[in-house]
């Protein structure tokens, strides 16, 4: 469980963050991605909240997969979703108490983390690939970093776009997806990362 | 409470005016991830229809007994059960499709569309209305997915439902079945819908002001 | 139209009831679909076994008991749920080789494959990718590209299988798919790792007569 193959861990982190970015390659986590305002700070804070929930989910998923679910594999989905809902509820209460300003800034997006495909997606992918405890943790951190990166990039570009004139039909969601498509193409360039070493 | 909008209206609105993907922007994760071919798109549409209609029917029947504070959790439990049923049924009846859709079948649980309809409609309206709404939304969702899937498959693979459409010399735009293709196709469809909507609004505004002028005259 | 505010007992009761009904429904669907799912899996695997061991007409499954491979007993000649390798026999009952399922990390996700191994000749005689999620149009050529798969029809495994980019110069080399180097390397890595695990036992079994020439 705790054997550390550093090379593999580094690959898992960068693969989740860049090569197979959760938002730009797997289409997970699009709701916050679209809704993020042009404020990079809010985007980064949103990303941090996601990283926390992802990490906790990864640990819980590992526990469930190792000790509980081998006896009842068909309960996997329900177990995961209950864990995620509870974690988000807990994070919401914690943020409300520790930083009311942040709580107000995140607003509706906090409870929406429950329906963020990325969280459940992480749990499912981690299960399919049978990651160990440390691998799962690194995977969650990499995925969270990737989500935050995508959010920040999107926020920054949208901020710039406010000053640009464009056809009415393209404003709003259409432009966001166009930007996402170009970002996605750019991230495909990371496919060659490590291939020389691999 | 007086009878609200007729059932037909509840059904039709999900198809076009309040289309879940193109207008409401819900359920985008599967809309982009599994639309790399038309058949996958339809399969995902069918699975989502099953979950949405089933959940709506159940939630609507039980709406008087679900306490308000725990309603979201209850909805999620209902939806997750239907998704698990769909997952196992697909694995038993159509293993190839199940393999193509992969983890995205399970991800139907977090499809904002389904939870959204329970919260906004099924938990407040009687059975017939809820059923009509669910069917309409599901049909609109499947239609949107099919449109995306067909475009991406035709351009990205030169085929539709696996049947090659063009000759040997067609060089498929592989980018279309890769992630960027999903984003770009959706962007263009959204722009198209927005454009049509804007023209329709301008036309109806012109008609309304024309009528007002005639009345004033 | 929805229920009014309720006390904690009522809330817990509702959630408990919902959970129980949900659990029952899930267990129910599982029990109903399990036989069919198992049959699908067995059929797919069997078809793959016969494809990677050309000429095979029957098979016997072997599972690990302790450190040894023993034949898997099953009343309906079903496939074991645990890890297994499969000995393939032709019509005359002669041992053709072993079909070995293996899996490992690919570029995008896990790759599951099965390959045929002739222990007496120490060669891979066939390979089929069972499950993969590699990049469409590039990495998924490991399934579709006939030339790539053809590499595995007669592949020496000593000392290990290696990946080359410019063309095969020796029997233990595999020509990678251009544009899908990582996916190609992943396939070879999976086979090498699997050989390390099974080759000695499989060779010993072959020398011992291959388990008796097939099922009765």
B168-205: pLDDT as tens digits: 778 888 888 888 999 999 999 999 988 888 888 888 88
Which residue does chain A place closest to C186, by CA atoms? A198
Q: Which residues of C, range 73-112, sit inside 8 Å of A by Cβ? A: 105, 107-110
Q: Has residue A196 got a pLDDT over 60? A: no
Chain-centre distance of CA A106, in angstroms?
16
B22 is written with which tokens?
Answer: 């193109």
Residues of B within 8 A of A26 (CB-CB) are: 33, 179
The boundaries of the domain holding residue B90 are 8-163+172-216
pLDDT at B50: 95
Q: What is the mean pLDDT of residues B22-43?
A: 87
The better pLDDT of the pair C110, A119 is held by: A119
Q: Which residues of C, range 38-67, sit inside 8 Å of B by Cβ? A: 40-41, 44
Q: Has residue A145 got a pLDDT over 90? A: yes
Output the CA torsion sign for C156, C158, C163, C168.
negative
The residue ranges of DSSP E strands in chain C, in sequence order, are 58-65, 68-71, 84-89, 95-105, 110-118, 123-131, 155-156, 162-164, 173-175
Count of domains for chain B: 1
What is the overall mean pLDDT for chain B? Answer: 87
B127-178: pLDDT as tens digits: 989 999 999 999 999 999 999 999 999 998 888 888 888 877 788 888 888 8
**Nearest Cα to Cα of residue A143 among A107, A116, A103:** A116
As for the ipTM of the complex, it is 0.84
Strand order across the beta sheet in which C155-156 lies: C68-71, C58-65, C84-89, C95-105, C110-118, C123-131, C155-156
Residue B2 lies in a domain: no
Name the strand (E) or helix (H) holding B164: strand B163-164
Helix, coil or strand: residue B178 = coil
Residue B1 lies in a domain: no
The residues of A whose Cβ lies within 8 A of any Cβ of B are 24-28, 30-31, 34, 74, 77-78, 81, 85, 114-117, 119-121, 124-125, 128, 167-178, 180-182, 184-185, 188
pLDDT at C2: 46
CB contact under 8 A, B77 and C37: no
Distance from CA of B188 to the nearest CA of C (A): 22
Residue B3 lies in a domain: no
pLDDT at B88: 93
CB contact under 8 A, A177 and B186: yes
Give the global pTM. 0.85
Name the strand (E) or helix (H) holding C19: helix C8-52
Sequential pLDDT tens for chain C (216 residues): 444 566 888 888 888 898 899 999 999 999 999 999 888 888 888 899 998 888 888 888 888 888 778 888 877 777 887 888 888 888 888 888 889 999 888 877 788 899 998 888 888 888 998 888 777 667 777 787 888 888 888 888 888 888 888 888 888 888 888 777 888 888 898 999 998 888 888 888 888 765 444 454
pLDDT at B2: 42
CB contact under 8 A, C136 and B177: yes
Distance from CA of A163 to the nearest CA of B (A): 19
Q: What is the mean pLDDT of residues B43-61?
A: 94
Interface with B, mutate which of C8, C12, C16, C26 (most B CBs under 10 A): C26
A15-66: pLDDT as tens digits: 899 988 888 888 888 877 777 666 788 888 888 888 988 999 999 999 999 9
Output the CA torsion sign for A61, A65, A71, A73.
positive
The residue ranges of DSSP E strands in C43-122, in sequence order, are 58-65, 68-71, 84-89, 95-105, 110-118
Helix, coil or strand: residue C116 = strand
pLDDT at C210: 53
pLDDT at B90: 92
Q: Which of B56-60, B93-97, C133-137, C139-143 has maximum average pLDDT?
A: B56-60
Q: Which chains touch A (3 or more CB pairs under 8 A)?
A: B, C
Q: What burial class does residue B16 get, using C-beta atoms within 10 Å of its C-beta: 0-12 exposed, 13-18 middle, 19+ buried? A: middle
pLDDT at A197: 42
Distance from CA of B63 to the nearest CA of C (A): 6
* Beta strands C68-71 and C84-89, pairing class: unpaired
Domain boundaries, chain C: 36-207
User: Is some CB atom of chain A closer than 8 A to the CB atom of C21?
Assistant: no
Using 50, 70 and 90 to split pLDDT, how confident is the model at B209?
A: confident
Residues of C within 8 A of A20 (CB-CB) are: 108
Residues of A within 8 A of C182 (CB-CB) are: 191, 195, 198
A59-97: pLDDT as tens digits: 999 999 999 888 888 888 988 988 888 888 888 888 888
Residue B48 lies in a domain: yes
Domain boundaries, chain A: 42-185
The residue ranges of DSSP E strands in B64-108, in sequence order, are none
pLDDT at A62: 94
CB contact under 8 A, B107 and A117: yes
């Amino acid at each position: 469980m705790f054997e550390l193959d550093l090379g593999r861990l580094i690959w898992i982190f960068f693969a989740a963050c860049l090569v197979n970015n959760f938002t730009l390659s797997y289409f997970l986590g699009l709701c916050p991605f679209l809704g993020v305002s042009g404020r990079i700070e809010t985007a980064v804070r949103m990303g941090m909240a996601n990283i926390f929930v992802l990490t906790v989910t990864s640990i819980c998923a590992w526990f469930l997969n190792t000790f509980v679910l081998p006896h009842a594999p068909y309960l996997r989905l329900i177990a995961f979703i209950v864990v995620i809902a509870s974690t988000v509820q807990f994070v919401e209460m914690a943020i409300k108490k520790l930083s009311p300003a942040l709580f107000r800034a995140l607003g509706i997006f906090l409870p929406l983390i429950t329906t963020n495909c990325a969280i459940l997606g992480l749990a499912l992918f981690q299960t399919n690939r049978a990651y160990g405890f440390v691998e799962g943790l690194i995977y969650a951190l990499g995925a969270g970093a990737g989500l935050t990166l995508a959010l920040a990039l999107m926020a920054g570009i949208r901020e710039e776009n406010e000053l640009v004139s464009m056809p009415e039909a393209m404003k709003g969601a259409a432009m966001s997806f166009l930007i996402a498509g170009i970002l996605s193409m750019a991230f495909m360039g990371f496919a060659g990362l490590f291939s020389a070493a691999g | 409470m007086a009878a609200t909008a007729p059932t037909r209206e509840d059904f039709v609105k999900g198809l076009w005016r309040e289309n879940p993907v193109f207008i409401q922007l819900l359920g985008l994760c599967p809309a982009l991830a599994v639309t790399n071919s038309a058949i996958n798109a339809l399969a995902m549409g069918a699975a989502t229809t099953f979950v949405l209609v089933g959940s709506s029917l159940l939630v609507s029947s039980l709406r008087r007994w679900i306490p308000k504070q725990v309603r979201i959790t209850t909805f999620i439990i209902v939806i997750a059960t239907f998704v698990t049923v769909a997952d196992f049924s697909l694995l038993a009846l159509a293993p190839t499709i199940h393999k193509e859709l992969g983890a995205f079948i399970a991800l139907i649980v977090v499809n904002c569309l389904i939870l959204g309809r329970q919260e906004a409609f099924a938990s407040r309206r009687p059975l017939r209305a809820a059923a009509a709404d669910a069917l309409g939304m599901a049909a609109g969702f499947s239609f949107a997915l099919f449109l995306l899937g067909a475009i991406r498959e035709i351009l990205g693979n030169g085929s539709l439902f696996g049947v090659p459409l063009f000759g040997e010399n067609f060089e498929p735009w592989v980018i279309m079945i890769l992630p960027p293709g999903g984003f770009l196709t959706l962007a263009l469809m959204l722009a198209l819908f927005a454009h049509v909507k804007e023209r329709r609004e301008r036309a109806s505004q012109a008609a309304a002001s024309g009528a007002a002028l005639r009345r004033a005259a | 139209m929805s229920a009014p505010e309720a006390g904690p007992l009522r809330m817990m009761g509702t959630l408990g009831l919902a959970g129980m009904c949900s659990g029952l429904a899930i267990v129910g669907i599982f029990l109903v679909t399990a036989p069919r799912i198992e049959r699908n899996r067995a059929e797919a695997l069997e078809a793959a076994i016969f494809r990677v061991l050309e000429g095979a007409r029957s098979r016997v499954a072997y599972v690990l008991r302790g450190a040894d491979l023993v034949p898997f007993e099953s009343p309906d000649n079903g496939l074991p749920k645990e890890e297994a390798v499969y000995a393939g026999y032709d019509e005359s009952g002669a041992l053709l080789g072993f079909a070995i399922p293996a899996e490992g990390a690919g570029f995008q996700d896990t790759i599951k494959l099965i390959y045929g191994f002739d222990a007496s000749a120490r060669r891979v005689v066939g390979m089929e990718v069972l499950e993969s999620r590699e990049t469409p149009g590039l990495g998924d050529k490991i399934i579709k590209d006939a030339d790539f798969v053809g590499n595995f029809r007669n592949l020496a495994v000593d000392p290990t299988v290696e990946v080359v980019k410019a063309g095969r110069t020796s029997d233990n080399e595999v020509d990678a798919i251009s544009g899908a180097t990582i996916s190609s390397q992943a396939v070879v890595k999976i086979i090498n790792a699997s050989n390390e695990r099974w080759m000695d036992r499989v060779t010993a079994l072959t020398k011992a007569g291959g388990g008796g020439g097939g099922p009765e």
